[in-house]
Amino acid sequence: MVDDAQAPELVHYAVDGLVAHVTLDSPHNRNALSRQLVTELAERLERAEADPEVRVVVITSADRVFCSGADLSEASADGMSAGVQAIVGLQRYVVAMSKPVVAVVRGPVRAGGIGIVAACDIVLSAAEASFALTEVKLGLTAAVISLTVLPRLTSRAAAYACLSGAAFSGTEAVAMGLVTRAVPADELDEAAAALCAELATGAPQGLRETKALLARDLLERIDARADEMAELSARLFGSDAAREAMAAFLSRKR
């Protein structure tokens, strides 16, 4: 078995001018939220937060898939008690950062990945990208990611997306409240560069104080409900119904 010191990097970090780019690159599991990926993502965000030259942070993917959600292989083998706490912490950190965080979504986002998207301040998506809250199909619910997802979605959109598990496009996600703007895929990079340049004109103090003002209610929600949602998520992941559904899903992927 390859240890963590020898494992390939799953999250890349680069700074271009005033913009830090944090890129998910775990193609073997479609950028699933494995322990390694979540740990590396948190570390890269901390680097961006600590860099006084960085004014804007971008989270994106190296390939078309943004994130396939929880790593079901890890969840089925080891449970999700520690994993859900890490995902809660990651969402909270994104919301609490002093710099605007932009998600640039090229393609599919599923389940837990939508929690990361929802934690970001601004979301730019390819119109053709697809989103789905698929937990219901595995005997689960969008527990820990509800902390960031539900405040973004309209109540009608949340009910449909969570209860059906159906996919919706980047264009539809704008109307639902999850995405800020959707553009054709071939215009995404240009639109992202223009958006970051626009945000970077903000003074550091202005960005910091405005971000804190915007994040206040969402942080209060996370802090008030995090333990309850983490407990619910861990309990459902550990249930016989969910374990059976995850095993069936993983066997179909082989």
For 14-64, what is each residue's pLDDT tens digit? 999 999 999 999 999 999 999 999 999 999 999 999 999 999 999 999 999
Q: Is residue 122 part of a domain?
A: yes
Annotated catalytic residue, options 46, 135, 172, 220: 135
The pTM of this model reads: 0.94
Domain around 126: 11-186
Domain total of the chain: 1
Share of the chain above pLDDT 70, in %: 96
Q: Is residue 84 part of a domain?
A: yes
For 86-141, what is each residue's pLDDT tens digit? 999 999 999 999 999 999 999 999 999 999 999 999 999 999 999 999 999 999 99
Query: Tokens 């089925």 belong to which residue?
Result: 76
Q: Is residue 167 part of a domain?
A: yes
Q: What is the mean pLDDT of residues 69-82?
A: 81
Q: Is residue 39 part of a domain?
A: yes
Q: Is residue 153 part of a domain?
A: yes
Mean pLDDT across the chain, nearest whole number?
A: 95
Query: Tokens 């079901």 belong to which residue?
Result: 72
Question: At residue 100, what is the residue type?
Answer: P
Measured CA to CA, the distance from residue 180 to residue 122 in angstroms comes to 6
Q: Is residue 87 part of a domain?
A: yes
Would you state the pLDDT for residue 78? 67
What's 20's domain CATH number?
A: 3.90.226.10
135 part of the active site: yes
Q: What is the dihedral of CA 157, 155, 57, 29, to 10 degrees?
A: -50
For residue 21, the SS3 value is strand
- 59: which strand partners? 22, 103
Query: Tokens 């960031």 belong to which residue?
Result: 148
Q: Is residue 5 part of a domain?
A: no
Closest CA to 39 of 68, 10, 65: 10
For 151-183, what is each residue's pLDDT tens digit? 999 999 999 999 999 999 999 999 999 999 999
Would you state the pLDDT for residue 100? 98
Q: Which two tokens stand for residue 253?
A: 């992927």
Assess contact for 134 and 113: CB atoms under 8 A. no
Q: Is residue 214 part of a domain?
A: no
For residue 9, the SS3 value is coil
